[in-house]
Structure 1
Amino acid sequence: MAFDPIFQMEGIAKSYGGVRALEEARLAISTGRIHAVLGENGAGKSTLIKIMSGVVQPDAGTMRLDGQAVRFATPKAANEAGIFCIFQELSLIPDLSVADNIDLADPPRRFGLIDRRTQRRLAEEALAKAGAEDIHPLAQVRDLPLSRRQMVEIAKALARRPRILILDEATSALTAGDVARVFAVLKRLRAEGLALLYISHRMHEIEELADDCSVFRNGRHVASYAAGSKSGNEVVELMIGREYSHVFPPKPPLPQEGPVLEVQGLGWEDRLTDISFAARPGEILGLGGLDGQGQRELLLALFGVLRGVAGVVRINGHPVSIGGPRAAKSAPLPMALIPEDRKTEGLMLPMSVADNLTMPALDNLSQFGVIDRRREAAAIREMMDLLAIKAADPAIPVGALSGGNQQKVVIAKWLMLGPRIILLNDPTRGIDVGTKQEIYQLLRRLADAGSTILFYSTDYDELIGCCDRVLVMYDGMIVRELAGDEITEHALVSSAFSLPGKAEVAHG
């Protein structure tokens, strides 16, 4: 059954300096359909939707809306045409309320002033449309966790009554419950006749939602097909341009050496309770459970970010007091923390790739307070080669790189310190399958070289495929330890919900 497209792009080209982001790109989307755009980071997906939503201008090509040629000079022009984009990087203002953010562009007015009662009602309606009725419209955005902010971003777009809605990794920061609610919303919007463009690196989401799919590689349109007509491996091979080998490296036998990191009775406020475990050199120790069960706080506590942490931490059998990140990265066995949000916690986006890479290691690259530029340049080259960071020049702003390459920079800058204990907070969120595979292999190489890795992931496949053991957390506690063949999706899910008869407290 053919569907007439509401929006078409043909021959789209865009370059940034000497880098060609799009070349002869094309796309056609129809009303009442969810169209998935697939491709690795750097394939051109972000540039495509930025052109579509008026953020950047194409160098060549045409766009048609309802058969008429269009060109959007600004995002406002695209919005006026009914095209709205929910970008992976949130556009909310933290110091304003949820209601203020939802109708920021056009708040309801009465006698020249903002009508607060109407504003609250409209915000409540938008939140309900997004399946987020539990978010209070008067709450300050800065007080919401990342997953709830993402729901506000979706409500903000729906409040504008779009004809075409673009979602760029819109579920990457969401909890499992929020993802289910968003899926229900998107299916309802499709039934109501919206055209939806959906970008995600999570193949199971594409399988559940998409009606049509288009694959991009190296800035070009590679293929379009009906959802379900190609196998997962066929789709991945289209994206990466080569045969897709097994995604996870093999696991060696579980290390038998004594523990490097021991945690006993660790607690913090009402978020962490009696956390006890041990991790060995060469081990990838996973943290599982539903999002928001204390995994992030545990990593921050170990890295010295939180104040008032109770309990004992031992490194190589000796109690240590980690008073802050500086102490953590210079501990008897230096630690590194790969944070949750690379954009706000991991990188200085306007600064160069080189400056971001060397920032944590400047003390090691300096003598008498003066940076040794030769050593610095050699270290930068080594890290860019080690992680295959794709950047035309290390002097370009790190914000100009694709999401996958930005994440590689976050990891590489901490590897410059030679950490022996590596803490990872959902490091592959929003990363393409090819880059994920490179990161999995890097983690196993680091573990094989003797590093101890504590790895929190919201992706069950990652925990199953990467980890030697998994500690499942629920309500700030470790409720089960899984090892070897015990690490299955069923065991992870049942433990994550702390189902009766399934949970058992783990003690290192």
Structure 2
Amino acid sequence: MTAPAIAARGISKSFGGVKALTRASIAVARGRVHALVGENGAGKSTLIKILGGRIPPDEGTVEMADGGLRVGTVFQELTLLPFMTVAENLLLGREPRTGLGLIDRAAMPAIAEAELAGLGITHIDTRALAADISLAERQIIEIARVIMSEPQVLLLDEPTSALVEREVAWLFGQIRALREKGAAIVFTSHRWGEITSIADEITIFRNGTDVGTFTSIAEDEAITLMTGQKLDAVFPPRDAPPAAPARLTLRGARAEGTGLLDLDLHPGEILGIGGLAGHGHRALFFGLFGAPGFREGRVEIDGKPVRIASSRDAMRAGIALVPEDRKSEGLFLSLSVRDNFTLPILRRLSRFGILRLGAERALVAENIRRLAVRTPSAAQRVGALSGGNQQKVLLGRWLMTQSRILLLYDVTRGVDVATKHEIYELVAGLAREGYAILFYSSDAEELAHLCHRVKVMRRGAFVAEIAAADLSAEAIVAAAMRESGQKEVPNAA
């Protein structure tokens, strides 16, 4: 390997009583892609923030070739300003000016559109507010904004977590182009296939320390190094659900963004919802949670018609939703782990309007133990936890409500392989306890190995149902793309 463009040597960093990094080191050469892998909380994001100059280390040094190079960082937490347009976010700090020196707002959408087109992005409305475009589109704008700065060192922290396969291919094309120009690139992902397809070197982190750098390593060996233990299998065994009447039934139901939908979900069943992104999955899940509800059709729970016009109606009916974007749609990041767990059940934990603190503490402690949430204490701010532990808190919150119908929408997005395994075991265990689980994933392998059957959506309608005996990732993808014998890849969701 040639002399490093950027290197971290003996980096240590603590946040309060939590050690994020302990004497960690990494060296990245020009024209190379260097992947960092490890569990959530292993220190990868902290190291990227230190390399990018966002936070200082407690110990150690960061060295850069030639006394300094242009560094661009795509952080795990998106930094777009939600109530500014795509164009305003993209051109922030380099806005076009009129002859009087004022910002030329009228010219900004066309300029931004041309710049995005130069990167092969033509489907995002530059006049739209950042808050109104999809999570994947926000991620693409975040990446594009950094790439346009022509960085010599590019730091990418989980850039693919919200992207579908087509968008990942676009990003990897951009990475390869920068690599050809001699840029040094640091890349993190929890998808092993992405790591092996793009990385020249792989550094594995465990508990804040680098435990090895490799040009090639098998996935099972990497998992052992990441976790300190061997996983017998990534997915738990799939038990057949008991024969029972449907817990949740849809008949001729239509939400904004779907056609007429029929569905039966049984107790003890994990029913997968698959298909290419942007074909109505989100509308189905949010429709069932009343955000907004279905416009027409019939919804039944245990054979009885129910009206779900709001999230309050859904919760009263025993329905819980875990959304894909835990940071903006699920958790209150500034509140404690305890408060995030118990917020929906404060009435149940109160007597005469006074919170029973002992009962709350006991219930939270039980769920922290049950879900293996890694946190210094229940008082820890949930925003300070790793992504996988945040997801466990969000799941635990809804389990506390005793809802028996769980809508799990891409719950393993941005979660490391060991925590994914824990979530798979939890979901399978909940099914065995009789929960009825509707499960959407952008990962066809998850659907194929975890679900009892999968219904595939296309253009807002169910176009196929695949039974357990026939389930495979290939069958799910084929059903999603099949239309009169033709294959199609839609615009990014």
Q: TM-score, normalized by length of structure 1?
A: 0.92
* Residue of structure 2 in register with 1:262 after alignment: 249
Question: One-letter code of the match for 1:292?
Answer: G
* Residue 92 (str. 1) matches residue 91 (str. 2): no
Q: Report how far residue 116 of structure 1 moved.
A: 4.6
Inter-partner Cα distance in structure 2 for 1:107 and 1:502: 44
* Residue 426 (str. 1) matches residue 425 (str. 2): no
Q: Report how far residue 257 of structure 1 moved.
A: 1.4
In 1, are the aligned partners of 2:323 and 2:411 still within 8 Å (CA)? yes
* Residue 274 (str. 1) matches residue 260 (str. 2): yes
Inter-partner Cα distance in structure 2 for 1:212 and 1:274: 49
**1:107-152 deviation per Cα after TM superposition (whole angstroms, max 9, x unaligned):** 2434321245774565235423543133233332222111111111
Q: Secondary structure at the match of 1:93?
A: coil
* Residue 299 (str. 1) matches residue 288 (str. 2): no
* Residue of structure 2 in register with 1:204 after alignment: 193
Question: One-letter code of the match for 2:245?
Answer: G
TM alignment of 1:353-392, pairs within 5 A: 353-392=337-376
Inter-partner Cα distance in structure 2 for 1:342 and 1:433: 18
* Residue of structure 1 in register with 2:224 after alignment: 237
Q: 1:125 to 1:49 in 2, by over 3 A?
A: farther
Inter-partner Cα distance in structure 2 for 1:109 and 1:28: 41
Inter-partner Cα distance in structure 2 for 1:178 and 1:197: 19
Deviates most, 361-370 or 12-21: 361-370
TM alignment of 1:74-473, pairs within 5 A: 81-110=69-98, 111-116=100-105, 119-120=108-109, 122-226=111-215, 229-269=216-256, 271-307=257-293, 309-331=295-317, 334-473=318-457
**1:454-484 deviation per Cα after TM superposition (whole angstroms, max 9, x unaligned):** 0000011110111001111011001111111
**1:132-190 deviation per Cα after TM superposition (whole angstroms, max 9, x unaligned):** 13323333222211111111111111121211111111111123221221121211221
Q: 1:250 to 1:175 in 2, by over 3 A?
A: same
Inter-partner Cα distance in structure 2 for 1:311 and 1:437: 37
Inter-partner Cα distance in structure 2 for 1:92 and 1:485: 44
Inter-partner Cα distance in structure 2 for 1:225 and 1:205: 16
Q: 1:58 to 1:256 in 2, by over 3 A?
A: same
Unaligned runs of 5+ in 1: 71-80, 504-508
How many percent of aligned residue pairs carry the same amino acid?
44
Q: Report how far residue 373 of structure 1 moved.
A: 1.3
In 2, are the aligned partners of 1:129 and 1:185 still within 8 Å (CA)? no
Q: Report how far residue 393 of structure 1 moved.
A: 1.2
Deviates most, 168-177 or 468-477: 168-177
Inter-partner Cα distance in structure 2 for 1:253 and 1:390: 32
Inter-partner Cα distance in structure 2 for 1:161 and 1:133: 20
Q: Report how far residue 403 of structure 1 moved.
A: 0.8
In 1, are the aligned partners of 2:6 and 2:28 still within 8 Å (CA)? yes
Question: One-letter code of the match for 2:94?
Answer: D
Inter-partner Cα distance in structure 2 for 1:425 and 1:88: 19
Question: One-letter code of the match for 2:266?
Answer: R
* Residue 63 (str. 1) matches residue 50 (str. 2): no
* Residue of structure 2 in register with 1:506 after alignment: none
**1:248-284 deviation per Cα after TM superposition (whole angstroms, max 9, x unaligned):** 1101124321211111111123x11111011111000
* Residue of structure 2 in register with 1:43 after alignment: 42
Number of positions where the alignment pairs a residue of Structure 1 with one of Structure 2 = 486
Q: Report how far residue 451 of structure 1 moved.
A: 0.5
Inter-partner Cα distance in structure 2 for 1:130 and 1:353: 41
**1:349-394 deviation per Cα after TM superposition (whole angstroms, max 9, x unaligned):** 1111111110011122122322211111111011101101111111
* Residue of structure 1 in register with 2:458 after alignment: 474
Q: TM-score, normalized by length of structure 2?
A: 0.95
TM alignment of 1:19-30, pairs within 5 A: 19-30=18-29
Q: Secondary structure at the match of 1:427?
A: coil
* Residue of structure 1 in register with 2:13 after alignment: 14
Q: Report how far residue 95 of structure 1 moved.
A: 1.7
Let me know the Cα RMSD of the aligned residues. 1.7
**1:183-229 deviation per Cα after TM superposition (whole angstroms, max 9, x unaligned):** 21211221122111111001111111111111111000111011xx2
Inter-partner Cα distance in structure 2 for 1:291 and 1:369: 45
Inter-partner Cα distance in structure 2 for 1:413 and 1:102: 36
In 2, are the aligned partners of 1:86 and 1:153 still within 8 Å (CA)? yes
Inter-partner Cα distance in structure 2 for 1:358 and 1:123: 44
Q: Report how far residue 67 of structure 1 moved.
A: 5.7
Q: 1:41 to 1:326 in 2, by over 3 A?
A: same
Q: 1:117 to 1:31 in 2, by over 3 A?
A: farther
Q: Report how far residue 323 of structure 1 moved.
A: 2.5
Inter-partner Cα distance in structure 2 for 1:54 and 1:129: 29
Inter-partner Cα distance in structure 2 for 1:121 and 1:455: 40
Q: Report how far residue 497 of structure 1 moved.
A: 1.4
Deviates most, 318-327 or 349-358: 318-327
Deviates most, 49-58 or 118-127: 118-127
Inter-partner Cα distance in structure 2 for 1:124 and 1:274: 36
* Residue of structure 1 in register with 2:491 after alignment: none
